[in-house]
Amino acid sequence: MTAVLEAQALGRKYGKRWALRECTIDIPAGHVVGLMGPNGAGKTTLLKLASGQLEPSTGGISVLGGRPGDTPAQLAKVGFVAQDTPVYAGLTVAEHLRLGARLNPRWDAAMARERIARLGLVPAQRAGKLSGGQRAQLALTLGLAKRPELLILDEPVASLDPLARREFLQGLREAAVAHRLSVLLSSHLVSDLERICDYVIVLADSRVQMAGEVDQLLAAHHRLTGPRRDPDRLPADQHVISAGHTERQSTYVVRTDAPNHDPAWTATQLSLEDLVLAYMDKRTVDNGRAVLEVRR
């Protein structure tokens, strides 16, 4: 399968500050990709680079084989729902659909109308009067009815209450399946994405910390719990992601292909949230023993 997004040594800086650097990823088509990371990790920057809102400072990026945002054809292939799901406050719901129909050659008017009706949005209502959840749904409808091959969503559920969040993500998953759509969405809450993503990218500190299919990542990572000892004494094929210590016990999150044979260690499965948090926290291990000492 072809890649929906390929980036080589992609970087973007604002002034002197790097928002994203040395980003090299290759996302295959047909996934719902969750882009996770703490606030300010560079998620929005990566998504804006992918949709052509921003130009890279260094490196290159190609989306569905083309330069992002360059031509009407490229724009037609990629849908983008921006952070806070902006809509025109003065335009009605129906006028938003008309806007979509006028500006997109592949517009699916029947699907848009059907979705609006199913969501219970009143076509004559002004978008400025919609609730946050309704507005997000309207923005998603615009993104979907454009019939893109890749739909990018930047923190689409950040301002929604838990119920609206669930409904929004549910709708997104159904649409992704129905239209065989690749989806790339970001959130700083793992729990939002856990339910619908089958591929994750973890960004922290403006770099990619981890990227891959959820199943494979979960299979390759374990939490090892055992008597307290230093990470140097773990087997060589165990790559330590994060470490935690109490007086008597050490807990490591490791990546390994080999099963654990040391009876002193108890290996347990990680949840996606544990794994993502371990990678966001990875710097503590990279910085070595000094951190270990401080933590005691």
Partner 1 sequence: MIWLTWRQFRGSAAMMAAVLVVFAAVLALTGPNLASEYAAGVAGCTPDNTCFDFFDRFFSEYDLLFLALTLVVLILPALVGLFWGAPLITRELEAGTHLLVWNQSITRGRWLAVKLGLTGLAAMAAAGVCGLAVTWWSDPLDKSAVPEMAQMAPVVFGARGIAPMGYAAFAFVLGVTVGMLVRRTLPAMALTMVVFAAIQIAMPLLVRPHLMPPVAGTFELGRENMDGLGAPGGGSLQIFLRTSAVPGHAGAWVLSSKLVDPSGRTISSGDGSSGPSSTIVRAVPVSTTSGPCSAQGLPTGGCTAEINRLGYRQQATYQPLERFWPFQWIETGIYALLTLGLAWSSFWWLRRRLS
List residues binding partner 1 (CB under 8 A).
48, 51, 53-55, 69-73, 75-76, 78-80, 82-84, 86-91, 95, 98-100, 102-106, 139, 142-143, 146
Residues 6+ apart with CB under 8 A from 120: none
Question: Minimum CB separation from partner 1 for residue 63, in Å?
Answer: 12
Structure tokens at 134: 């309704």
For 15-70, give the DSSP string: TTEEEEEEEEEEEESS-EEEEE-STTSSHHHHHHHHHTSS--SEEEEEETTB-TTS
Question: Minimum CB separation from partner 1 for residue 97, in Å?
Answer: 12
The DSSP bridge partners found for residue 187 are 36
Question: Minimum CB separation from partner 1 for residue 266, in Å?
Answer: 48
Per-residue buried b or exposed e for 123-140, using 16+ beta carbons within 10 Å of the residue's own CB: eeeebeebeebbbbbbbb
Residues 6+ apart with CB under 8 A from 268: 222, 223, 225
| Beta carbon nearer to partner 1, 71 or 266 | 71
Which amino acid is it at 128?
Answer: G
| Beta carbon nearer to partner 1, 54 or 214 | 54
Question: Minimum CB separation from partner 1 for residue 131, in Å?
Answer: 17
Q: CB neighbours (10 Å) of residue 166?
A: 14
| Beta carbon nearer to partner 1, 107 or 279 | 107
Which amino acid is it at 18?
Answer: W
Question: Minimum CB separation from partner 1 for residue 57, in Å?
Answer: 13
Question: Minimum CB separation from partner 1 for residue 84, in Å?
Answer: 6
Question: Minimum CB separation from partner 1 for residue 30, in Å?
Answer: 22
According to DSSP H, which parts of 83-212 are helical? 93-103, 109-119, 132-145, 162-178, 190-194
CB 97 within 8 A of CB 49: no
Helix (H, G, I), strand (E, B) or coil at 154: coil
Question: Minimum CB separation from partner 1 for residue 35, in Å?
Answer: 17
| Beta carbon nearer to partner 1, 78 or 157 | 78
End-to-end CA distance of the chain: 48
| Beta carbon nearer to partner 1, 99 or 220 | 99
Structure tokens at 207: 């770099």
| Beta carbon nearer to partner 1, 14 or 60 | 14
| Beta carbon nearer to partner 1, 3 or 101 | 101
CB 257 within 8 A of CB 220: yes
| Beta carbon nearer to partner 1, 55 or 237 | 55
CB 238 within 8 A of CB 257: no
